[in-house]
Amino acid sequence: MFKGSYVALITPMTQTGEIDYPALEKLVEFHIEQGTHGIVSVGTTGESATLPFEEHIEVVKQTVAVTAGRIPVIAGSGANATDEAIFLSEQMAGLGIDGFLSVVPYYNKPQQRGMVAHFNAIADATDLPVLLYNVPGRTVADMLPETVAELASHKKIVGLKDATGNLERLKATQALVPDDFVLLSGDDGTSAEFLCQGGHGVISVTANVVPGAISKMCEAGLAGNAEECRAINASIASLHNGMFIEPNPVMPKWALYKMGLINSAELRLPMVLPELASQKALEELLKKHALISG
């Protein structure tokens, strides 16, 4: 369940700020053709923080419709209010998704006991699998391995997206959770080592741009071919850095726009287009990797 390369898919928008559904369909088809193993729809990279519920739900619905069961779709359903996270999960439960990705509540800095209560309440409210998402760089609050282990006892909580970038954290979590508990990297820069040390896959930002490479990297890692996994990662390491020149999803949207896969790099305020220097730096990387002409 939920192994391999899952793209943290951007949400394409028109120059006037509406969701660009034809571009969304084009992106989904691109990922299926390139071998992406699954899609995370409207997570952080999909601008979940600035999409109202109606749009959030519609983007997930349309993503499921285009995939048509060919690859799994995980819906971002996190919120810093437990009732809101439950409401969003309930609204999306019947869309045909394969599970939820639920982030540690942001801004209000819950205690570890609060996290346990929050995620158990969400899991109690759905029949679908739930993946926990720990990204302290954005949420400030950090879910500890012991908390993950406690939550792993809930039958609906099946895994964790670990975006700490700390491989010692992976080891600590592995020692406490069941063998079938899914551990996915949420940090592109360390994802190859995460796989080589027993992780099950990655929810990747870089996969927006080079989905085939991330997919092959994951397949090599899961097959136990650490040398190939690391070699593929080394070949795209500069792109990992390029995706985060400015806060995500600014740079992957700019890359996809320059690659001709979306019609506009528009973002929802307060996110704005990258600075000119950032645009040029990323475009040079894209040329180096033969993703755009130059």
Query: Is 267 a member of any domain?
Result: no
Is 71 assigned to a binding site?
Answer: no
Matching residue, tokens 């359903």: 77
The active-site residue out of 133, 156, 257, 258 is 133
Query: Is 191 a member of any domain?
Result: yes
Query: Is 278 a member of any domain?
Result: no
Tokens representing 246 are 């400015």
Above 90 in pLDDT, residue 7?
yes
Number of domains in the chain: 1
Closest CA to 171 of 197, 201, 202: 197
* Whole-number pLDDT of residue 133: 98
- Cα(42)–Cα(200) distance, integer angstroms: 22
Taking the CB of residue 141, how many other CB atoms lie within 10 A of it? 21
Query: Is 272 a member of any domain?
Result: no
- Cα(121)–Cα(27) distance, integer angstroms: 34
What is the residue range of 214's domain? 4-233
* Whole-number pLDDT of residue 125: 97
Q: What pLDDT digit, counting tens, does each position of 52-72 carry? A: 999 999 999 999 999 999 999
Query: Is 33 a member of any domain?
Result: yes
Above 90 in pLDDT, residue 131?
yes
Query: Is 258 a member of any domain?
Result: no
* Whole-number pLDDT of residue 294: 79
161 is catalytic: yes
Above 90 in pLDDT, residue 1?
no
The active-site residue out of 161, 253, 257, 258 is 161
% the chain with pLDDT above 70: 100
> CATH number for the domain including 85?
3.20.20.70
For all residues of the chain together, what is the average pLDDT? Answer: 98
Is 11 assigned to a binding site?
Answer: no
Closest CA to 160 of 114, 119, 125, 124: 119
* Whole-number pLDDT of residue 257: 98
21 is catalytic: no
Q: Tell me the CB-side half-sphere exposure of residue 283, using CA atoms within 13 A.
A: 13
DSSP state for residue 97 in the 8-state scheme: -
* Whole-number pLDDT of residue 236: 98
Query: Is 290 a member of any domain?
Result: no
Contact 89, 119 (CB under 8 A): no
Query: Is 156 a member of any domain?
Result: yes
* pLDDT bracket for residue 264 (50, 70, 90): very high
b (16+ CB within 10 A) / e for 4-27: bbbbbbbbbbeeeeebbbebbebb
